[in-house]
Amino acid sequence: GAGVSQSPSNKVTEKGKDVELRCDPISGHTALYWYRQSLGQGLEFLIYFQGNSAPDKSGLPSDRFSAERTGGSVSTLTIQRTQQEDSAVYLCASSPGVRGRRDTQYFGPGTRLTVL
């Protein structure tokens, strides 16, 4: 079946501009995660959605970052007033999200963001 998809695959923007990154999870997966991976760094958790619950935003690095998930499926990560330190690969993952059961996350191909 189809995996997690993300768009765009690459995004180059100028400092100060806003960007939107999209994630389409695996069909039927209720949990969705955003991570980012900077050059030479590990994956850093940003935000997590589970069903209709309030998202866990504890990993967002600043208030310039926000995300929403519409209809329990597609998610959009928005970065306002981008800075050069925002340059990274933004990865989305989804998991079945069945409460009380073991869970496994599957990653999309990522969006490489470059802020000039």
Binding site for other proteins (CB under 8 A): 31, 33, 35, 40-43, 45, 48, 50, 56, 59, 89, 91, 95-110
Q: Report the nearest approach of other proteins to the CB of residue 99 (Å).
A: 6
- 114 Cβ contact partners less than 8 Å away, ≥ 6 residues apart: 10, 11, 12, 13, 87
Q: How far is the CB of 16 from other proteins (least distance, A)?
A: 28
β-strands 106-107, 5-7 pairing: unpaired
* Least distance from other proteins to the Cβ atom of residue 100, Å: 6
Number of residues that make up the chain: 116
**In the complex with other proteins, which residue's Cβ is closer, 15 or 53?**
53
Shorter beta-carbon distance to other proteins: residue 3 or 16: 3
The first and second tokens of residue 8, run together, are 């765009």
Locus of tokens 């970052």: 65
Q: How far is CA 14 from the centre of its chain?
A: 20
Q: How far is the CB of 80 from other proteins (least distance, A)?
A: 23
Cβ nearer to other proteins, comparing 85 with 103 = 103
CA 83/CA 52 separation, integer angstroms: 31
